[in-house]
Structure 1
C-alpha cells in the first residue's frame, strides 16, 4: 500500500521538483565520496567555488522554496540507495540552496552523552532550521557561527 502512496506522491511533484529530487538522489553519494576523499573543509570549499554567481546577494526565492528543497533532499536520503549522515545531507542542501541564490548557513553542534561526544549538522535560512527540528540548537550546542567554506584554489 505504501508503494502506491509513494507513487502518487511522486506523480504529484512538478517537473522542477522531480528533477531536483533526481539530482539529490544522484548527488548524495557523490557528496559522501567527496568528503571522504578530500576531507570536509576542502570539499566544502570546492563546492562553494561552484556557486559563484553575480546575483549572489539577490535572493530570488524565500523560506517556502528553501523548505521545499529541504523536503526533497530528505526524501532522497530516505528512499535512495545511499543512506547519508546529517553532514552529507546538510552539505548537499546548503549547496542546492546556494545554487538558487538562497543564502543559508551550514551549522554544526555538539553534545556530550555520557563519555561520547556527538556532533550534528543542519542548515538554517534566516534563523529558521530547514532540515531538523526547531529545537536542534537546544539539543546540540552549536558553534558560535555558521561553518564557512575555506578558499580552495583549483
Structure 2
C-alpha cells in the first residue's frame, strides 16, 4: 500500500519538481564524493561558482518554493540509494536553491553532548530554517555567520 501511495504522490509532482527530485537523487552521492575528494570548503566554492543567477525570487513565493525544494531533497535522501549526512543534504539544498535564484545560507552549529562534540548543518532562507526543526539553532550553537563558499578558480 505504501508503494502505491508513494507512486500517487510522485504522479502529482509538476515537471519541474520531478526534475529537481531526479537531480537530488543523482547529485547526493556526487556531493558526498566531491566533499571527500576536494574537502568541504573547496567543493562548496566550486559548486557555488557553477550557478550565479542574477534574479531574486519574491519573498512570499520564495519561502513556499524553498520549502518544496527542501522536501524534494529530503525525499531523495530518504528513498535514494545513498544515505547522506546533514552536511551533504544541506550543501545540495543550498546549491539547488541558488540554481532557482534563491540566496540561501548554509549554517553549521555545534553542541557538547556528554564528552562528545557534535556538529550539525542546516539551510536557512530569509531567516526560515528549511531542512530541520525550527529550533535547531537552539539545540546547536550556530557559528556567528553563515558558511560562505570560498572563491575557487575552476
Name the TM tier (shorter chain). over 0.9
Partner of 1:100: 100
Partner of 1:63: 63
Superposition map of 1:127-146 within 5 A: 127-146=127-146
Structure 2 distance, partners of 1:5, 1:151, is: 44
Q: Secondary structure at the match of 2:124?
A: strand
Q: Secondary structure at the match of 1:63?
A: helix
Deviation at 1:51, TM superposition (A): 1.5
Structure 2 distance, partners of 1:90, 1:126, is: 15
Partner of 2:2: 2
Structure 1 distance, partners of 2:126, 2:41, is: 23
Listed one character per residue, the Cα deviations across residues 26-60 of structure 1 (whole Å, up to 9, x for unaligned) are 0000000000000000000000111223x25x325
Runs of 5+ consecutive residues of structure 2 not aligned to the other structure: none
Q: TM-score, normalised by structure 2?
A: 0.96
Structure 2 distance, partners of 1:100, 1:4, is: 31
Structure 1 distance, partners of 2:12, 2:100, is: 22
Alignment: residue pair count: 152
Partner of 1:46: 46
Runs of 5+ consecutive residues of structure 1 not aligned to the other structure: none
